[in-house]
């Protein structure tokens, strides 16, 4: 066991001044069998600490439904950090932002409008307390003072940009201390006077988040915290991407120079991100500052380790900078060989509508419900009702969240896109079943629209008359068992290997590998959808770009037979699956 404390302007580890050189790795964005590799590469770059957020909504997707196993095994992650001879920083929020769905806050919190999010309101405090007690029960025995790796634990996250409820912060501190957290507690805010004052309490170490002008930003931090170690706990070395924009990169030379300046001033640092990883499944967040912008599947972040865990030019530049200020291991990380490149045809396919009823339960209601009202907090769902109009008619919704494919019978008649502010479509004279397939493209993770419900938002009218008697089917994906059964039943019906796939459709391909290994799935020949390899949800793809490949972690693959399933929502001009030798993130198609 060790001691770790703050004395004067220093961190003291076992009584000696200690500088934290940390890098962010989110365990929930990396396959657990890859954790050790990424952590080891952090040490070889010269870091001595690994930092992670804790996503409440992943650990507790439904009230009381708690999971801390597999990819959510925080204890295993922290022990892996310790096994590499490193320390850890844990940031459990409860709000994390992180470009993660809903900023990490569970969507079910918002279904009761009386709950006061991120403030001292009783229902919220009760839910937060229960969550934190579960997380801190994992962290407590892994503190450095208990023989574990954890040096610091953060209270809330950039709270000064959101509110100034000191009673709320005091409640959180009481929960942390009551749970046995004895290592120093920190807060983080951007180095703006109001944020630094509103986002912390006396007795908590204030830290700052920035990615440039290190001297100026640390001076602002010092003005608001006269004593204590200086720390940038989010040194932004890159940025995130959203669909339809360019892939963000930062200058290697400038980022290295800013890091050098920060370290020369004696500050501690947490590099955000050291390794970003991937928004697997339906976990990406979104921004909305007037235009809705969902985050892409890749969380590459232009970090020192790329999405697949390989060192970049920035890795070597940062390693050289750190070597000027601290000891860096002589050993260098091994760079992986290029991934195998090959193509395989899709062998069978089945329309989504043919299998939908096996992916959930239809619910019937007079009024139009949101996904949230049905307890469905991610992915896709179907809305159906009957219409009968002898003349062209305008179908209008209050709001679409976030993309709706409109069908009359089996014919797709149009798409309503939230990022284009679409809410109405003109229908030809129609009689029959109106079906609307809705995709939740990711919940807003920052700002006033956090927590908003998904699906279709009423009222809904056809030529001004309210439409009622809805049937709604939340789609459960995964598992894929029902999809596989339908594909097996389809059998040889698609042996002709179609030239294209007209969505919404599930399609399956098979491929053989000599050995387990990382792959990069090329999605440029497809429209928009989701992909699974051996049942593991790789995340979303979209021809809009900038992302052109999906990262397939090596532990997901296996020697011998492998399966790829996609759900193509629009249209794939190329009914083959291609794997390429390296990731591609640069394409943009507006």
- Catalytic positions are 158, 234
Whole-angstrom distance, CA of residue 167 vs CA of residue 345: 60
Helix (H, G, I), strand (E, B) or coil at 464: coil
Q: How far is CA 575 from the centre of its chain?
A: 29
Whole-angstrom distance, CA of residue 68 vs CA of residue 62: 14
Q: How many CB atoms lie within 10 A of CB 160?
A: 21
Whole-angstrom distance, CA of residue 269 vs CA of residue 262: 8
Structure tokens at 151: 């040096």
* Residue pointed to by tokens 């021809």: 543
* Residue pointed to by tokens 């052109």: 548
Length of the chain in terms of residues written: 590
Burial class from Cβ neighbours inside 10 Å (0-12, 13-18, 19+) for residue 313 reads exposed
Whole-angstrom distance, CA of residue 456 vs CA of residue 453: 9
* Residue pointed to by tokens 């939230």: 418
> Cβ distance 568 to 504 under 8 Å?
yes
Whole-angstrom distance, CA of residue 285 vs CA of residue 368: 25
Closest CA to 328 of 316, 314, 340: 316
Whole-angstrom distance, CA of residue 185 vs CA of residue 50: 16
Whole-angstrom distance, CA of residue 288 vs CA of residue 273: 22
The three-state DSSP-derived secondary structure of 205-235 is EEEEEECCCHHHHHHHHHHHCCCCCCEEEEE
> Cβ distance 345 to 497 under 8 Å?
yes
* Residue pointed to by tokens 């501690």: 268
Kindly write down the DSSP assignment for every residue of 65-113, as one continuous string: B---SGGG-HHHHHHHHHHTT-EEEEE--S---TTBGGGG--GGGGGST
* Residue pointed to by tokens 């709270």: 159
Helix (H, G, I), strand (E, B) or coil at 426: strand
Q: How many CB atoms lie within 10 A of CB 446?
A: 19
Structure tokens at 415: 């798409």
Q: How far is CA 54 from the centre of its chain?
A: 11
> Cβ distance 293 to 287 under 8 Å?
yes
Structure tokens at 297: 């599947």
Closest CA to 45 of 12, 86, 77: 86
Closest CA to 551 of 339, 302, 303, 238: 339
């Amino acid at each position: 066991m060790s001691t770790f404390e703050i004395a004067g302007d220093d961190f003291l580890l076992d009584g000696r001044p200690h500088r934290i050189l940390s890098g962010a790795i989110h365990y929930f964005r990396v396959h657990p069998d890859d954790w050790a590799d990424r952590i080891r590469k952090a040490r070889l770059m010269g870091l001595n600490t690994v930092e992670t957020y804790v996503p409440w909504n992943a650990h507790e997707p439904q009230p009381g439904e708690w999971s801390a196993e597999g990819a959510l095994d925080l204890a295993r992650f922290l022990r892996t950090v310790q096994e590499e001879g490193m320390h850890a920083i844990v940031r459990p929020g409860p709000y994390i932002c992180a470009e993660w769905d809903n900023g990490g806050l569970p969507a079910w919190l918002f279904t009761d409008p009386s709950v006061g999010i991120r403030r001292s309101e009783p229902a919220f405090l009760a839910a937060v307390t229960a969550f934190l007690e579960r997380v801190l029960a994992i962290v407590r025995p892994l503190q450095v003072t208990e023989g574990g790796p954890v040096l610091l634990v953060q209270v809330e996250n950039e709270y000064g940009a959101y509110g100034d409820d000191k009673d709320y912060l005091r409640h959180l501190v009481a929960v942390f201390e009551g749970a046995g957290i004895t290592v120093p507690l920190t807060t983080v805010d951007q180095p703006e006077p109001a944020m630094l004052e509103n986002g912390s309490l006396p007795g908590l170490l204030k830290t700052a988040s920035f990615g440039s002008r290190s001297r100026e930003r640390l001076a602002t931090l010092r003005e608001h915290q006269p004593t204590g170690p200086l720390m940038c706990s989010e040194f932004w070395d890159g940025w995130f991407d959203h669909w339809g924009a360019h892939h963000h990169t930062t200058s290697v030379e400038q980022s290295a120079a800013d890091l050098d300046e920060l370290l020369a001033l004696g500050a501690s640092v947490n590099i955000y991100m050291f390794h970003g990883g991937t928004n697997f499944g339906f976990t990406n967040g979104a921004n909305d500052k007037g235009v809705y912008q969902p985050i892409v599947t890749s969380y590459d972040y232009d970090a020192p380790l790329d999405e697949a865990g390989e060192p970049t030019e920035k890795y070597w530049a940062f390693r050289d900078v750190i070597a000027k200020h601290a000891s860096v291991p002589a050993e260098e990380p091994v760079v992986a060989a290029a991934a195998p490149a090959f193509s395989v045809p899709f062998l069978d396919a089945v329309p989504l509508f043919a299998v939908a009823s096996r992916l959930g339960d239809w619910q019937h209601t007079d009024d139009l419900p949101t996904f949230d009202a049905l307890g469905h907090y991610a992915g896709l769902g179907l809305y159906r009702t009957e219409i009968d109009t002898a003349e062209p008619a305008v179908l209008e919704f209050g709001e679409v969240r976030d993309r709706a494919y409109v069908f009359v019978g089996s014919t797709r008649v149009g798409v309503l896109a939230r990022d284009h502010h679409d809410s109405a479509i003109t229908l030809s004279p129609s009689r029959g079943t109106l079906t609307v397939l809705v995709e939740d493209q990711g919940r807003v993770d920052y700002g006033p629209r956090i927590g908003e419900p998904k699906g279709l938002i009423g009222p809904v009218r056809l030529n001004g008359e309210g439409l009622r008697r809805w049937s709604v089917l939340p789609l459960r994906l995964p598992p894929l068992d029902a999809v596989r059964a339908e594909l097996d039943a389809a059998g040889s019906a698609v042996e002709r290997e179609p030239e294209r796939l007209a969505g919404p459709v599930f399609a399956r391909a098979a491929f053989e590998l000599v050995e387990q290994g990382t792959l990069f799935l090329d999605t440029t020949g497809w429209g928009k959808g989701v992909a699974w390899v051996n049942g593991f949800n790789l995340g979303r793809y979209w021809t809009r770009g900038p992302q052109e490949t999906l990262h397939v972690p090596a532990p997901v693959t296996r020697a011998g037979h492998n399966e790829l399933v996609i759900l193509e929502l629009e249209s794939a001009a190329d009914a083959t699956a291609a794997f390429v030798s390296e990731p591609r993130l640069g394409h943009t198609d507006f």
